[in-house]
A and B are shown apart, each in its own frame.
Chain A
């Protein structure tokens, strides 16, 4: 299995442990990643607030690189997924825009065939739809028995459903649950798992943003979660890096919920050491996870 790989800005910036764990886990699974080193930011839904066409052109540039490789595109960020799916959708519907964008891309020898489009998939979708849960199970060296893990999706990988391919894949809002159980962990569910982490308004309305994070984390802790797992590094930033500040809005005392990136959880089940997966590189200590796994 080969994918053009778009790691996203955050895994190359504030969440390097995501990048490290992904490139460590992929070969172990037999997935070959061809990284788009020269790819650009997808705009994270922010650039489109300024100029929709700019955001679409930026995404077309990445798509064109993947098309040139004749490979499907894999991302490791819920936000990238949503933005990429929406951009694809808009350009498919607006051939005039696509044409205009291609005029600009042509200057660096790129072309995006918007009508043909390309498969753009988060690692989570790749795992369940392309790789298969049975194959994943067959790769497990250390089942995560005893670990109580809850899902946290991130808005953009869930909504809006019609643009994210839910017609064809109606269970895309359950994949994290599937994966958690496939790895042998105990699934914890809670109300906030498909809501907003609060990150988009962190610098705009900090109190609201942290209250959102605190609500979800409190619920998960109350339900007994040892950790949450997320396919989105932006959710990770708000749930992990901001957790000590969010604690003052929490409804539980002693808030401590480690947040794992999806490839980290997979890696643990593949028997890769926690250090190699950089699970010690979070703001919230992962000791609960390691304790649950060693007991």
Chain B
């Protein structure tokens, strides 16, 4: 079939702005986008730069934006995206600088992975033989261990788009890899670090990383596990965990959410400055008739809601190792 590609080109050394170039190549029906790009590079335009190695979705080097979404070029068949003659848009991964054409600079990616201390920190002298770890504990880490460090999640992360300091989905998924590992003894200090600004609470829960990850690592779900673990470990001196706890408290009390109180609880009941920083929109909301009711509306079945919270919400969550929030 005839495969049409529209490729974003950029060469910083030329001093020119990025531009789009169209190619058309004859490929078998089974071709991947990577096959088509290699065809272009080998036989049509040797100046096109891209990165690849394994060609079978293992090495993680070919992540790029294809039709606006981060994917592995070697795992994306052209057929799945375009009918004969339809154009496929190919751009470098987002949220990272571009070195040339489709080659993204992964240096910031690796810096963030390193920042979460992605190595085991056991305590005490090592055992004489190997560490013995329960099967279930390792199975629970199966998702995160599948990560091939391709950066697709980072490319499309909406939080990173507005804040380059955010640790991001891949690094935080890796962080859960160690907090969730029974051999690691640094949970508390890890969770404290991850709870700082630019960490677990800066994720918007947009689910994009879950959607684009080619290995089903579900980075957002791992971030939610870290959040649950941080709250359970008592790391509560931040707006993120306060928000979660306030939300729980308000729904438990009324059966419904009470938006008027939520920001006040989140900022801490006595943190006047914090409250004011949220409130500039309050007069506007009152003016337009939108202010949430000052006296919360209680549903009549609130006692049933309380029963649910009592039954399920006050259970001892157990050690962080076994917390399993977030899963679908």
Contact = CB atoms under 8 A, between A and B. Distances in A.
Interface of A: 9-10, 12-17, 37-41, 43-54, 57-58, 61, 82, 86, 89-90, 101, 104, 107-108, 155-156, 158-161, 163, 195-196, 198, 200-209, 211-212, 215, 237, 241-242, 244-245, 278, 280-283
A203 B277 CA distance: 9
B202 interface: yes
A14 B204 contact: no
A59 B281 CA distance: 31
Contacts of B211: 159-161
Given A13-B260, A40-B256, A155-B205, A54 B313 contact: yes
A212 B300 CA distance: 38
Contacts, number: 207
A202 B279 CA distance: 11
A48 B201 contact: no
Given A9-B256, A39-B299, A50 B244 contact: yes
Given A40-B301, A41-B256, A161-B211, A57 B312 contact: yes
A104 B307 contact: yes
24 contacts: A9-B256, A9-B257, A12-B256, A13-B257, A16-B290, A41-B255, A41-B257, A48-B224, A49-B224, A49-B228, A51-B317, A86-B328, A107-B304, A159-B207, A160-B207, A201-B159, A201-B203, A203-B262, A205-B201, A208-B159, A241-B281, A278-B289, A283-B285, A283-B288
A176 B251 CA distance: 31
Most chain B C-beta atoms within 10 Å of own C-beta, residue among A10, A13, A44, A237: A13
A203 B278 contact: yes
Interface string B213-232: 00000000000100110010
Q: Which of A53, A54, A104, A108 has the most CB of B within 10 A?
A: A54
Contacts of A208: 159, 162-163, 166, 202
A40 B260 CA distance: 17
Interface stretch (B2-10, B145-153, B319-327): B319-327
B151 to A, nearest CB: 18
B292 interface: yes
A241 B285 CA distance: 7
B158 A54 contact: no
A212 B257 CA distance: 24
Contacts of B300: 37-38
B281 A244 contact: yes
Contacts of A283: 281, 284-285, 288, 290
B261 to A, nearest CB: 10
A196 B308 contact: no
B84 interface: no
B259 interface: yes
B137 interface: no
Interface residues of B, number: 71
Given A13-B257, A52-B324, A201-B204, A61 B247 contact: no
A160 B328 contact: yes
A104 B228 contact: no
B113 interface: no
B174 interface: no
A280 B287 CA distance: 11
Contact of A163 (B266, B312, B328): B328
B293 interface: yes
Contacts of B204: 155, 196, 198, 200-201, 209, 212
Contact of B207 (A15, A37, A156): A156
Contacts of B257: 9-10, 13, 41, 44
* Central interface residue in B206, B211, B297, B325, by most chain A CB within 10 Å: B206
A93 to B, nearest CB: 9
A47 B205 CA distance: 13
A45 B255 CA distance: 15
A67 to B, nearest CB: 16
A280 B289 CA distance: 9
Contacts of A237: 259
A96 B211 CA distance: 28
B258 interface: yes
Contact of B201 (A101, A204, A242): A204
A4 to B, nearest CB: 15
B31 interface: no
B25 interface: no
B215 to A, nearest CB: 14
Given A41-B257, A108-B304, A203-B239, A51 B315 contact: yes
Contacts of B309: 54
